[in-house]
Amino acid sequence: MLHQPSKVMDMQFELQGLRTLISEKTQLCNQLKKELAMIKRLEQDSSKLFELEGSDTLGSQFCIVPRVDGAPDISSCPAQWYRVISGGNRELISGATRLTYAPEPFDVGQLLQAEIILKADKVTVQTDGPINHASGLERYVESLMKRADIEFNVVVTQMNGNDYASKSVHVFHIGKLRVKLRKGRSTKARESYSTTMKLCGSRGGGNAAACAVFWQTRKGLSYTLAFETDRDRNAAIMLARKFASSCNVVLAGPGDQVHGGG
């Protein structure tokens, strides 16, 4: 080989390349071992795998997101949202089964909690604190109550749970004795406050949930309405509940219990 220096040089280059490759693979292997050990520790306490992204204030929207790279995919996992009421008891929020949820006035003063079914485990995440009113919202509601007619521009996105074809603007009228939905001169729905009426924030998830409400006028007829702003959405809910209370009717969402929120 002393008589063939070019071959020796080639072998030295190849050996150096192999050493570099082994070093890189070793570093990658060590990194993967660290990540695997971290994931195993997290799986032992799976509640630390995920967290709620969002603000503890009306007008925001929460989303369950992973805290670490390598967390299990939960995009197709069932979820359920709850209000944590006095004594640590939980109240199920009917219909809130997506990875996102937009708080509504009934949630004010309460902690929110979401439970994800991950394989055989239940993973629970919770807000850092109780939900707060949006700044200036109560003053806005008081100013609206001084008007003879309280109307909001809305778009009907669903009717009886099915997508609504027309995206034209409707008017949502909230009165002291009844609630009405109309388009131009045509009245789509008009109903007095009653025990069969339901009104709450939209619980179906989606990017517009913070601006949308679910309104069941009576059994067999319901709408999902999208407002122009989250402030209008929350103000409409609060106004309708105040007027319904004057008619001795508790206006809430499906399955909701009265505990003083909103």
d(CA 153, CA 148): 16
Structural domain includes residue 61: yes
Beta bridge partners of 118: 121
126-132-135 Cα angle (round to 5): 145
pLDDT over 80 (residue 6)? no
Residue 129 and residue 238 in contact, taking contact as beta carbons nearer than 8 Å? no
* In a shared domain, residues 214 and 142: yes
- Retrieve residue 77's tokens: 């996992």
Structural domain includes residue 34: no
Structural domain includes residue 98: yes
pLDDT confidence tier of residue 196, bands split at 50, 70 and 90: very high
In this predicted structure, what is the pLDDT of residue 48? 74
Cα-to-chain-centroid distance, residue 61: 5
- Nearest Cα to 98, choosing from 84, 124, 116, 121? 116
pLDDT over 60 (residue 260)? no
Structural domain includes residue 178: yes
pLDDT tens-digit readout, 24-81: 887 788 677 656 655 565 555 555 789 999 999 999 999 999 887 778 888 888 899 9
Query: Which is more confidently placed, 186 or 22?
Result: 186
Residue 87 and residue 48 in contact, taking contact as beta carbons nearer than 8 Å? no
Q: What percent of the chain has pLDDT over 90?
A: 61
In this predicted structure, what is the pLDDT of residue 121? 81
* In a shared domain, residues 146 and 239: yes
Range of the domain at 122: 47-126
Structurally, the chain folds into a number of domains equal to 2
- Nearest Cα to 99, choosing from 57, 50, 59? 50
The residue among 126, 150, 172 that closes a domain is: 126
Query: Which is more confidently placed, 122 or 10?
Result: 122
* In a shared domain, residues 115 and 212: no
Structural domain includes residue 38: no
Q: What is the pTM of this model?
A: 0.79
pLDDT over 80 (residue 9)? no
* In a shared domain, residues 161 and 215: yes
In the block, which residue shows the tokens 């679910």?
214
Domain CATH code at residue 184:
2.30.29.140
* In a shared domain, residues 184 and 103: no
The residue among 66, 97, 126 that closes a domain is: 126
First to last CA, the chain: 89
What is the mean pLDDT of the segment spanning 154-175? 92
Domain CATH code at residue 51:
2.60.40.2700
